[in-house]
Structure 1
Amino acid sequence: MAVYTCYLAAALGFLVAVGSLPVVQASTIEAVNHTHWAINRFSVDGRSGVDIIGPYQGGGGGCCYNAPERWVPGMSLRVEWERGVAYSDEFPGYADWPKYLAWVDSIDAQTRRQTKFVSVPDYTGQKVCGITVHFLPCDDIQVSTSCYAYGSPEYPIKTPLHLPEPQSCVR
């Protein structure tokens, strides 16, 4: 068994060395929330973005987004997230248990779980510095692999942070 493992390790090393097996670059998973909702949790291809992202904020810091060495057309990611009420100003306290349970139900009724597949932008010839997920109104998303920070002139997504929620979302 040990001899087989050595041969397998040597073969994989050879494939990486000759470029037949892509090498990945591991970096963080970040987010920018352009909505009035809180992003309670999110993940990229099953890897957690760690933080809760408040309305009109950035955050994240999960590990790790593994970008293939070479971008290929049609490359996509699965982004899963839960959005919900950002502030619970009407918290009734615990003294009146039925009132508290009704409040919990009203918060839960506004919570939505989403899953979307999004195309990875072409990063050919560029350094990949993780993945940044932009949460947009109408449960839409965009992603960037840029090494520049959101808001810098070189950052590819120019969407303003404060976006109003449309009256209706046309699908």
Structure 2
Amino acid sequence: MNVMPRPTDGRYRLALLGALVGALLAQSALASTLEAINHTHWAINRFSVDGRSGIDIIGPYQGGGGGCCYVAPSRWQPGMTVRVDWERGVGGTEDYPGTGDWPKFLAWEKTIKAQKRQHSKVVPVPDYTGQKVCGLTVHFLPCDELQVTTSCYAYGSPEYPIKTPLHLPEPQSCPK
């Protein structure tokens, strides 16, 4: 006679553990770094993808990042997105007055802080079916637009999917 295992039975726990491991393996994910390419005259003071920090400050027209980790599901699904949060600000300190003249420094600091902007955007993840996934690279574009890729190729290589030039002019106005 077959008897169903009870929750206190070791066989029940083993069966439950096996089911959990199987479910995790079926949903296995690929983890790698977060990188960024900044195509604007602004500095990217900080950024994160789905709450994970991209670490580096990225100057105007530069690349950086190195944060851990973007976790890509093993299979791409239609409608996949990531949420990118970032702060942009002034990309240089040419007019930095130093701290010898405190009122000038405070005025300069106020100007710098007034130019910082917080942004958040949900962006589609392009189809990576049949491709190796190497983390996520976020491209910061003028008008606070974004593009992302999971490509393993380096930005600028012929195989890299985003062909946007690094130095993009800032438009006179951005669409609302």
TM-score by length of 2: 0.90
Written as runs of structure 1 = structure 2, the 5 A alignment for 1:49-128 is 49-128=54-133
**Distance in 2 separating the partners of 1:5 and 1:57:** 52
Structure 2 matches for 1:121-160, cutoff 5 A? 121-160=126-165
Q: Structure 1: 5+ residue runs without aligned partners? A: none
CA distance in 2, matches of 1:154, 1:97: 52
1:170 Cα deviation from its structure 2 partner: 1.2
Structure 1 residue 76, shift from structure 2 partner: 0.3
Q: What is the DSSP-based 3-state SS (H/G/I as helix, E as strand, rest coil) of the residue aligned with 2:47?
A: strand
Which position in structure 2 is the counterpart of 1:10?
18
Residue 13 of structure 1 deviates from its aligned partner by: 1.2
Q: Following the alignment from structure 1 to structure 2, what is the Cα–Cα distance between the partners of residues 124 and 95?
A: 58
Percent of aligned positions that are identical: 69
Query: CA separation of 1:164/1:5 partners in 2, compared to 1, >3 Å: closer, same or farther?
Result: farther
User: What RMSD over aligned residues (CA atoms) do the two structures have, in Å?
Assistant: 1.7
CA distance in 2, matches of 1:74, 1:131: 16
**Which secondary structure state, in structure 1, belongs to the residue aligned with residue 23 of structure 2?**
helix
Q: Which has the larger radius of gyration?
A: 2
CA deviations 1:47-85 (Å, max 9, x no partner) are: 000111111111111111000011111110000011100
Gaps of 5+ in 2: 1-7
SS at match of 1:60: strand
Question: Following TM superposition, by how much is the alpha carbon of 1:129 offset from its aligned partner in structure 2, in angstroms?
Answer: 0.6
* TM-score, structure 1 as length reference: 0.92
Number of equivalences: 168
